[in-house]
Structure 1
Amino acid sequence: MQWKRVKFIVIMVMVNLFIFILMCRQSGQDKNGRQKIIVPSKPFWTKLSPVDAYWNRQQQILDFHNNPNWSVNRSSTDLPEWLAQTSVSSNTCDQNIKVTTQVKEYNVLPDRFKDFLLHMHCRSYPIVVDQLDICKEPPFLLLAIKSQIPHFDRRQAIRQSWGQAGVLANRTIVTVFLLGMSSSWDFHPDLSDSLRDEIGRHPDIIQWDFRDSFFNLTVKEVLFLEWIQSRCQGAQFIFKGDDDVFVNTYLILDFLNGLSEDKAKSLFVGDVINDAGPHRDKKVKYFIPESLYVGKYPPYAGGGGYLYSGSVAAHLYEVSRLVPLYPIDDVYTGMCLRKAGLGPEKHKGFKTFDIEEKYRTNPCAYKSLILVHPRTPQQMIEIWGWLRRSDLNCQ
């Protein structure tokens, strides 16, 4: 009797399941047996609402105007005021006075932020020193070093050590130093005569007519990406770094020679920082107010130095025009990578926060490292001498 009851329950469950499936199939058809068109209850493109942070809003505006799904069949009169606004043309570098009312608490921001915001729209500055033929023979590796006019000793130490241009391990290397202009506002002495003499002796200086400040390193970044496309497009790989790092150029070449073709094309490696966000402490060098930016940063490589392919450089140049300038250059590069659908890869050979003190005077510690930061000009020359020793045994 118990078995018959179980059998009956099983049969009823199967019948109900069959009826449910049949009803589901019929609900997707009209009376003529054709499939019904299911209309979404909500629009796919949601209505954009502004955020208070100025950078985020500028990114929203750029995204909107570069997304045909949002902008099709719309006129400027259809748009909300905040979305219809456009920045001052990037063809002029006049101050954008509008930001003084568009940025919350603008008047209490430090001067460096005010200067950045007033000129944030400007991406085009005259080049005052160029090297037209420096990449006439496309190099395997382009070393691009961010420097400033007063840093004569750093540039010379790099030329005498890891940044020597020419042929190394059967690979062609070209070195350039990226400079802006010193400003009396930053209390720099006039060193124009000394720089002119250096340029006469070393044809490796690229200089643009913009204020060379910490927040303008992003300007230097976009100008350099443009310079690559016009002057050194044939470079297979680019190392870009600061003038206070030591780089094991031998190891870079070994690393690049061992890459597969696909890996080489999409290369972007460095000391990658994940899950970071803006510092809100005003005493920190990297302080960013909430009125400028909200949210987390994308993964990015520390600005002490990173290595990438010529193909990635071209992608970065294209997407950089779709990303508003940001005051921290390495974060900005991470933003551009994300916009290009790429990401930086962490490499353990990049030590942008130095190595343990007990290893700093050990020549063998530098054999397996691509980059160490920071190092003085004297230390650069000393370490390079260690690596060139034929009797250096690090077994």
Structure 2
Amino acid sequence: MFIIYWRIRKCQLSQLIMMCFVLSVIKVYWESLDSNVLGHIKSYSYRLVNNLDFISANLTISRKEAQKFSDHRYLINHEQKCANRDVMLLLFVKSSPENFERRQAIRSTWGNEVYIERALGVTVRVLFALGRHPRPLDRKKLQQKLYSEDQRYQDLIQQDFIDSFHNLTIKLLLQLGWKHAYCRHARFLMSADDDIFVHLPNLIRYLREVDRAGVKDFWVGKVHRGAPPIRRKDSKYYVSEEMYPWLLYPDYTPGAGYVVSSDVASRVYQASLTLNASLYIDDVFMGICANAMGISPQEHVFFSGEGRAPNHPCIYDQMMTSHGHVRDFHELWKHATDPEVRRVSSGMFGSLYCTLTKFRLLCLQHSLDTYSCKAAFL
């Protein structure tokens, strides 16, 4: 009897120790759990019972106050870049002054305007949006290099603000304002980072279909829905409650790469004229402006957002964007535009092969930051 009692007590003691261990682990990781999983649960719950119009209402300021965010003089400009041309797409690449090699790689691959016009039969204007270099000691020398670069390529648009992560919203305003002033007739506007690969042939085919259908309120990319602000101070994307006190952001597309129709670009620009642009997460500010105008983003499964797409012909056949490229632009451009890509996926057997391949790459080896599993079946 005593032995049985002792065994029961021993079992209970083991359970108590295990419970204490589990509670200790939960306590240690509670803060990170709260900021990630619970943060998303809170934001989705909040979204179910609240209209987000109050966000833009609370951020509304006078035009005079808002002007300070966009009233920067041009250091380099090309007012006639779109003049007298039927521009299908105005493509702004957000670049930093020192990223000459990235700009050069883009010019010689997917951003080559001459190739686009000859091969695809449309006019695309590719421009690089810049501010001033943040380090005063390097600024003068680098600025001379930028003048020389622009004299040769005539594709830099630079304003007199410090080029930094915390001024990305100002760079967004540069793009919206430049289109409104100098390229209002362009049918689409794309904003992209300078470490993104854009499959222009696929994108142009897609935009032609959208254009023929006369689609309005068009805003496409990888969509973040119900995302909560990041409150961890060690994060690059930290936003204080003082700056943004609400539990979630309006829906938005990551600034790595997205496309809007001309009417959306115009309406978002108008919204930006009376909104507080001190929030430095530019893609979120874009979402706030769009939400104020009643515009919602549409998910396209072949926009990769912040992620890098898998390297495979079956992926290239439908690829729109892939993020995280610096030194492999030429190699990727060569492989992604190879005529063999179309042949691999053509016919019944090619289609079946690519479906199985994409299922393996996107579903079995899936990464949240790139194409979703459902892209395997499209």
TM-score of the aligned structures, taking structure 2 as reference length: 0.70
CA contact (8 A) 1:124 1:223 kept: no
C-alpha change, 1:189 and 1:366, in structure 2 (3 Å) is: farther
* 1:234 and 2:180 correspond: no
> 2 CA distance for matches of 1:365 and 1:281?
35
Partner of 2:60: 62
Q: Name the aligned partner's letter for residue 259 of structure 2.
A: L
* 1:314-329 → structure 2 map (5 Å cutoff): 314-325=266-277, 326-329=279-282
CA contact (8 A) 2:253 2:305 kept: no
C-alpha change, 1:57 and 1:298, in structure 2 (3 Å) is: closer
Q: Name the aligned partner's letter for residue 383 of structure 1.
A: L
CA contact (8 A) 1:256 1:264 kept: no
Q: Name the aligned partner's letter for residue 394 of structure 1.
A: V
> 2 CA distance for matches of 1:324 and 1:339?
13
Which of 218, 221, 231 lines up with 1:280 in the alignment?
231
* 1:312 and 2:310 correspond: no
Deviation readout 1:70-119 (Å, 9 max, x if unpaired): xxxxxxxxxxxxxxxxx98456xxxxxxxxxxxxxxxxxxxxxxxxxxxx
How far the C-alpha of 1:354 sits from its partner, in A, is 2.4
Partner of 2:106: 158
Q: Name the aligned partner's letter for residue 103 of structure 2.
A: R
Partner of 2:331: 382
Which of 112, 123, 133 lines up with 2:80 in the alignment?
133
How far the C-alpha of 1:61 sits from its partner, in A, is 6.8
* 1:124 and 2:122 correspond: no
C-alpha change, 1:130 and 1:274, in structure 2 (3 Å) is: same
* 1:366 and 2:364 correspond: no
> 1 CA distance for matches of 2:58 and 2:112?
44
State the secondary structure of the residue aligned to 2:191. Answer: strand
How far the C-alpha of 1:135 sits from its partner, in A, is 0.2
Query: Runs of 5+ in structure 2 lacking a partner?
Result: 1-53, 346-378
C-alpha change, 1:328 and 1:337, in structure 2 (3 Å) is: same
Partner of 1:30: none
How far the C-alpha of 1:227 sits from its partner, in A, is 0.9
Partner of 1:48: none
Partner of 1:144: 92
Q: Name the aligned partner's letter for residue 319 of structure 2.
A: L
> 1 CA distance for matches of 2:306 and 2:134?
29
> 2 CA distance for matches of 1:58 and 1:272?
19
State the secondary structure of the residue aligned to 1:264. Answer: coil
Query: Runs of 5+ in structure 1 lacking a partner?
Result: 1-55, 66-86, 92-120
Deviation readout 1:248-289 (Å, 9 max, x if unpaired): 001111111222656533210001001111111011110011
CA contact (8 A) 1:237 1:310 kept: yes
> 1 CA distance for matches of 2:214 and 2:169?
27
How far the C-alpha of 1:380 sits from its partner, in A, is 1.4
How far the C-alpha of 1:366 sits from its partner, in A, is 2.0
Q: Name the aligned partner's letter for residue 146 of structure 1.
A: K
State the secondary structure of the residue aligned to 2:255. Answer: strand
TM-score of the aligned structures, taking structure 1 as reference length: 0.67
Q: How many residues align?
A: 285
- Aligned residues: CA RMSD: 2.4
How far the C-alpha of 1:391 sits from its partner, in A, is 3.4
* 1:205 and 2:156 correspond: yes
State the secondary structure of the residue aligned to 1:220. Answer: helix
Partner of 2:297: 344
Partner of 1:331: 284
Deviation readout 1:300-350 (Å, 9 max, x if unpaired): 001101011111111111111122112100000000000011111111011
How far the C-alpha of 1:363 sits from its partner, in A, is 3.8
* 1:290 and 2:252 correspond: no
C-alpha change, 1:282 and 1:349, in structure 2 (3 Å) is: same
C-alpha change, 1:62 and 1:354, in structure 2 (3 Å) is: closer
CA contact (8 A) 2:113 2:126 kept: yes
C-alpha change, 1:138 and 1:335, in structure 2 (3 Å) is: same
> 2 CA distance for matches of 1:144 and 1:162?
13
Q: Name the aligned partner's letter for residue 345 of structure 1.
A: Q
CA contact (8 A) 1:127 1:209 kept: yes
C-alpha change, 1:132 and 1:308, in structure 2 (3 Å) is: same
C-alpha change, 1:61 and 1:237, in structure 2 (3 Å) is: closer
> 2 CA distance for matches of 1:61 and 1:386?
46
Identity of aligned residues (%): 30
Deviation readout 1:38-89 (Å, 9 max, x if unpaired): xxxxxxxxxxxxxxxxxx99953737x7xxxxxxxxxxxxxxxxxxxxx984
Q: Name the aligned partner's letter for residue 325 of structure 2.
A: R
> 2 CA distance for matches of 1:242 and 1:260?
24
